[in-house]
Structure formats: structure tokens, C-alpha cells
Chains A and B, each alone.
Chain A
Amino acid sequence: MKELQDLAQSVEQGQVQKVSGLTQQLLDSGVSPQTILNDGLIAGMTVVGQKMRSGEMYLPEVLQSASAMHGSLKILKPHLVREGAQSRGKIMVGTVKGDMHDIGKNLVSIMLQGAGFDIVDLGLNVSPQKFVEAISAHQPAILGLSAMLTTTMLNMKTTIEAINAAGLRSSVKVIIGGAPVSQKFADEIGADGYARDAVLAVDKVKQLLGVSA
């Protein structure tokens, strides 16, 4: 459908007003909110992810696409809820204790949201206890931990230990990311996965949840 392609392209180009307008137009013409989400927003953000990986898009452009997507989601959300649309899964993200860097975490949230997942963002400087409490409250399928510093990456281990101690480890998969961490570090601290960038984080989440592309 040409309008959906147009929507996807407008998301990619970060055209905030056009995306909101097209979303409303598509709803008014009877297109289901789930189709708009899948074939418009997710399709557009998938291209954004691909272009980010290939170095054709950078953070400012991605943030602009995310703004456009959020504008559309605001319109779509009540319709999706009314229709009982199923999310692809709930993902919780947070930057670990002592770390105030959120660019990477936010980028991961944007790309996951753009891939159709629900996000619970705990923000920055999140203590292990707060992660434990939030897992109990929100029951996410996956927890994404972010750290930008060699000092704070050690708090990923502390967080996983706290989740273990609370008896919640079997209920949630844990993935990690951030400049100083690696697959080796993920293995050492008992994480279920590592992603080098936001696009790979989406791939990792899909793989862990058995969600097809």
C-alpha cells in the first residue's frame, strides 16, 4: 500500500508532522493500527537501523526518526489497546548504578520500540535493588543493562547477582551493552547475551525471544 510505504519513508526521514498526519489519515481510512505499526513504523525504523549500521545515519538523524515514530505511537496507542494488539514482548532497560550515560541505552530503547517491543526504561544510575523491584513489578521478558565506564561495568555483575539472590533470574533474560563491555565479559558475569550496538541489540532480543524478523 503506497500510503504505508510513504509512512515508513517519512519515519526514516524524521518528518515528525508528516508522520503524525499520515498515521491519522491511515486510521481514518480504516487501516488497522497493527498494520500501521508493522508496515509503517517498524518498517521505517528497520531501515533506520540498517542505515545506522552502515554509517549512513548517525545519532541526530536517528533521534529525529524516533521523534517521528513517538508522535505516531501517541496516536496509535489507544487504538492498539482497544484492539487488544499483542506486543512482541516487554523489555526493561537501565544504566547501572554509578553511570550517568544514557545515549546508548536510549538508542537501544528507540530501536527496540521501533521493532515493536514495549519498553520499560528505568533511566540512569539504577541500583541492583531497584532493578530487582522493577522486575518483580513489570515482569519483563528481557532486561538490558547499559554501562559506559570501565568502573561501572562491574555493577552489571552486582545487578545480576542481586537478581539471582532474589530468585528472579529464571524469569528474565539479561543482555548487556556499552563501550567497555564484550561477549567475554557477558559470559563471565552470567549474562544471556551481549550486543555491540543498538541494531544488534534488537537482533539479540529477537533471537532470545524466538521472534521472527
Chain B
Amino acid sequence: MDTLILLRANMLRRKGTFVGIVLLMIIISMSMTAIMSVKTNVRESVDEAYEEADVADVFMDIPTKILPEDLLEKVRNHPMVDHVEVLEAVAITQTAFKDGQYANNWQVLPLDRHVVRMYNEDLSCYVDSIPEPSPDGFYVPLGIQTEFGCELGDTFTVKNSGCQWDLTVEGYIVEPICGASTIGSKTVYVARETFDKMLAESKEAEKNIENHLSVTMVMIYKADSCTLSDNKLARKLSQDTGLESYAYNASTRSQMKNYTVIYSDIVLSVMLAFISLLLGIVLIIMKHTISVSIDMNYTELGIMKAMGFTVKKIRILLSLQYVIAEAFGALVGTILSFPLIRALGNVFQPITGIKAKTNIVFFPSFPILILLLLMSCVFVFLVTRKAGQVSPVKAITGERGDVYFDKALTAPISGNALSLSLSFRQFTSSKRKYIAVTLIAAMLMFFMLTVNQMVNVMNSKSAMNAMGNMLAEVRVTDREDGISEEKVQEMQKIVESVAEIDAVYSTISQYISFDNVTMLSIVARDPNSFVISKGRAPLYDNEIAITDIIAEEFDLCIGDSVHIERRGMSGDYVISGIFLYISDVGHVTAMSYDAAKKLGTKEPYTVEFSLKDPKKSEAVYDALVAEYGDSMLIRYSETCWVDDTFTIAINAMQIMIYSFSIAFALVVVFMVCTKLFAQERRDIGIYKAVGFTSRKLRLLFAFRFMIVALFGSIIGTVLSFLFSNRLLEMLLRSMGVTTLTASHTFSSTLIPILLLLLSFFCFAFLASRKVKKVEVRELVIE
């Protein structure tokens, strides 16, 4: 009972501190619950969509004209296969939408049992039943809407060599396999009647045009008795039948699920790492607050001891106050996470193409919250051990330990810049008081700079290119005939007459069987255009380069030999080096055109021009269109087609991290400032007595906290320069990034520093408003 009375009284008396702890815990539990819930919701929604659509375990797209029926039969009869669904689809290699021409990898299918979900008009929910599209209409996955910004009623002209159809968007459907904007290939759906007509026309064209692509989609379902994972099954089937080497697209259920959620996973992981850091900040601030409280309530604690309270009881009392505040904050935060779950889930809908559930997920977020609370209980209890040092005699007689003032590294006050120098002096003469806040400022700065660096990577062409992304402003495609070396040189001259060229990429992407695993292979006419991190470029026709991720997964190193197959042709290749490339989550190989020719690869059909001045891309486009506009597909983009959706998600994450940092700075500054104010009340009276105004004293507080923020920022910046790259490499590895080359820019470093300094300054100025209430007469002893 006595504990309860004291607990209530203490919490009411120091409500400012506890309100601060509650606010911090609300932010943490709200964001942690929301992030974990959204992560689980996105994954579960994807899983459900896969189940509902009865997606196969292994699937591949094979050009119909080279489909080896005997190998397909082998697959059908394989003991690990339950059944195989084979669908003929109409391939789309090019589309025209509004004023643009686009090279595509789309397949058209009739609306079938695999399509079970369709969005309503405003994309807020799914409709109950899916009607048949009209003869000129089609249903597209949400990824197409994200990529093209199309609306219902918009018409696309879809093309394959010798064929062309106009199709109007009549609805957005959930296409779980490749409906995400992160996946290049797309499947669209038309009415059965329309499909039959398109397929007939496509087959007719195929007879006359050599390059006309027709596609057969092979969907393989695992037998119940098969215990292999889908990836292992794909490898086993490739080993046993060789069918996969004929596919131009091949994947497994788990790989496609992974591609669908990869961006949301990365963004949410970064945010979760940030929230963990915020939790660290809460522990630091609690340690600081408890320590200061014990100092300030020395007399009361001594009296309690004199009254018979044991040290253990006092420590439990002190700990309980903070744990109750934390638990209350965690509970309120969990309740408040509902709207955040919905908002965050909506951010990822255009990326995954699937409506995420809006459930609050109690597992694992709730057990983690409880675990964190238990850990903080132990932490708080440990921190309160200082209460054991309180002496009842000293407390009652008013005798206290020596007042600590650090004389080392103090700075003199100057008459010329009195406020600033006095603030600096106040900071340097009691540095220990500010360690916690400095550390917090450093942690916030580290994370803000790390996120900035991530944004810099995503928005910087040079950074992306240095990571092997081959971004260029102008792209020329000729899928029918390919683009010969002579043509590339001709184009280069035209481009050079308009703008300075940074790099030319003449490439083709194809899927190969790499030691029986289907993998993307980038073929470049100039192998030196690959970014090599170890070894050298695959210059010769028996060489191949691999990524770090492949080297690790297959336990390969430079000099090892690998077996490559493609459409019945094969060869052994020596690994010449490790290269960087962000595609297919790092499962990519690279070779020269000469090496690819041995696998039957045709002439590279894409040439890209990276310009030194992106603003000249339209002029380059005009010049190339004038010469090749009739025979080739030419496109340009000043932003090199960097994925807008991901940029939006990254920017949303940046805004959230900045907002939380500022909110945390606000609460922390208020909490620390309130304690300082209580400790320095007498000094404030003295300053007023010698002629300082309240405003000047508040400025002293504000400058002091700005100085603390400056030291914290310097530490955070140094830490960021040392560790941000490593942290990001760890977080982005799932995206295929193993070496991050982005550096801090002047503005991306300066802006968060200024923001933090300004926040600390303003918040301390606001928090010190009670200075006005201090009267000089408080110094009087009557």
C-alpha cells in the first residue's frame, strides 16, 4: 500500500518526465507494430493471392517454335511432378501508349481460373465477381497502372512482329506471379473470343515473320510426395530434363514471391532498424532521467531510508514508475498503430500489385514488445542501483557529495559573444550531464545520414552505374533484327554530334541454365562496360563473370569452371571475375557477345547511350528518330527510368525517419531541459539578478542544446562515414547490392545537420519557457 501511495504521488509530481516516456513509447510501439504488421500483412496477402490463383511451383515461358515436346513429356512423367499445365499465350514485345512506344515482355491470356481478384474503380477493395472483358478490352495487373499511369478506359496498342491490336483497360486484376511493378514481365487478360482471334493472327504472322515471338507458358505443379523446395525441384527438373534451358523466362513460386515483396521488405527493414535505434534512445534517456532524479531527490530518498524503506523497495518503486509509463505508452501506441498500418499498406499496394490486409498482427510484434518491456525493466532496475548509495544522514543534514564540475577542456566566456560563449561554457563545465543527449543526437544524425545515403544511391545515376546498373538516358531497341556493331558506331556518331557520351551499352538480356539453375545473363558487346569488383571482365569467349551473391551461393571463385546451357547448346566457361549488377536480386551472370554466340545468342538488340548532360537526351532522341525512327524503337528519359514507385516508397521512408527523429528530438530536449531547469533554477535567479533577461536566458538554453546537437551531429556524421555503407549493404543485399558506392554529398550531409541543430535550438527555447516564472526573490533567505 505504501508503495502504491508513493508511486501515485511520484508519478503525479513528475508527470512531465513520464509524459515524455509515454510519448516516446507511443512512437516506438506504434511504428514497430505497424511495420511488423505491414510486413506480415504484405507477405500473407501475397501468399493468399498465390493460393487463390493456384500458382504453379515452377513456371517457364518458352518460345512455342522451339518447345521441345519430348522434354516436356519427360517433365510430365517426372516422379516429383503432379501435373503440368501448358498454356499457349500471345506474346507482346512492344506497346504504344499515349505518345510513347515501349519495349515489353507481356503475355496475353484468356480470362481463366487463375484470375480470382479484381479491384474496384478506385482500387480501394476487390469486387465480388469478375465479368468477362469486352472484345476490345483487357484486364491488367496493378503493376502496369503503376508503370504507365494508365486509367480505366485508356487504350494501349499492343504489338508483336507483324501483328497489332488495340486494347482498352477495363479493370485491374491481381496477378500474383508478375503483377508487381518490380517485375518486368507481365500477363494481361482478354475475353476468350478475343484471345482466340489474337492467337490465330499471331500464328499466321509467325509463319511469315522469322522474329515473331509466340510463347507457351509451362506451369509445373509439385507432387504431394515431393519433399524438395520449389527451387530445388526446378534445379532437379533442369538436371533431369533440360527443359528450363529453352525458356526465356523461368522462375519458381518462392522466387516470384520474393521479387514481389522485395522492395516493401527492404523499406520496412530499414524502418525497423531505425525503430530499434529509437528504442536505444529511450533507454539512454531513461538512464539519464533516473540518474538525475536520484540526484535531485537525494533528501527524499534519504528520508525514505530513514523511515525504514529498504534499498530494494526504493529501487522497485523507482523502476515501477518508468515501467508503468513504458507499458502505458506501448499499449496506446499499439492501439494507434491501426491507421498507420492502413496508410503504410497503401504505400506498397502499387509496388506489389496486391491489396495488403490491414490487420494488426499480434505475433511477433506483441511478444517482441513484451520482451522489450521486460528487458527495459531489468535495465531500469540496474540503473536504479545508484539509489543504494544515498546516505540518510547526508540527506537529512543537507550534506551532499561534492558538486561535480569538469574543469578539463572548459572554454572561457567572452564579452564579445557572451550568449554563445557562456552556453559553451555551461556545456563544457558539466559535460557528463550532456553525454546522453549528445549520444542521442549522434544516433539520430547517423540514421538520417544513412537514409540520405540510401536516397542518394537510388536517385544518383552515377552511383547506380558504379553499382553496375547501366543506367542510360537514351535507349534504342530492334528486337527483330538486332543492332550490329557497325550500326552502333553509326548511332554513336549521331549522338556525339548532339551531346557528349558518358557510356554506350550494347547489350542483350537472356536466361541461361547455370549449373542447372536458370539465371539471367547480361551479354555485352563490350565486356569492359561491366563493373568488376574482383578479377577482370569476361573478355574471352570462354569466360563468364558472376556476382558476389552467386559466388557465395554456389561456392564458386575466380578460375572455377561452370557449365552453361541454352536452348540445347552448352559449354564450359571459366569465371574471370566478380561483377556488380542490381537485377534479379543479384542472380546474374555476365559474358561477352563472343562468348554468348556459342550458346546461339543473336545480335544484341538494345543500345543505350548514357549522356554526360541528361538534359540533352531529347535532342539526342530527335536526332536518332530522324535516322532510325521507322525501323527501331527509340526512347529517352532524363531520369533513366528509375522506378518511381520505389523512389516514392524510399521518400516516404525518409520522411517518416526525419519526422520521427524530429519528434524524438522534441521529446528528449523537453525532458532533459525540464530536468536541467529544475537543477539550475537557483542559477537562473542569479543570472536574472545580475541583469540577464528571460529571453537571454532562454537563448542560453537554446544555444547550449544547439552545441550539444552539434557535437552529436559531428559524432553521427563520423559514424555514418564509417558505417553507413556497411549497414546499407547488409540491408540491401536482398536486392542484389553487395557493394555500395554512394558517398555523402555536401547538401545531403549539411541539411540533416542544420535540421537537427535548428530543432534542438527551437525545442530548447520552447522548453525553457518556465525561465520567465523564476523570480529573483527565490534567492532570498528570510
| Same complex | no
Chain A residues proximal to chain B, CB less than 8 Å:
none
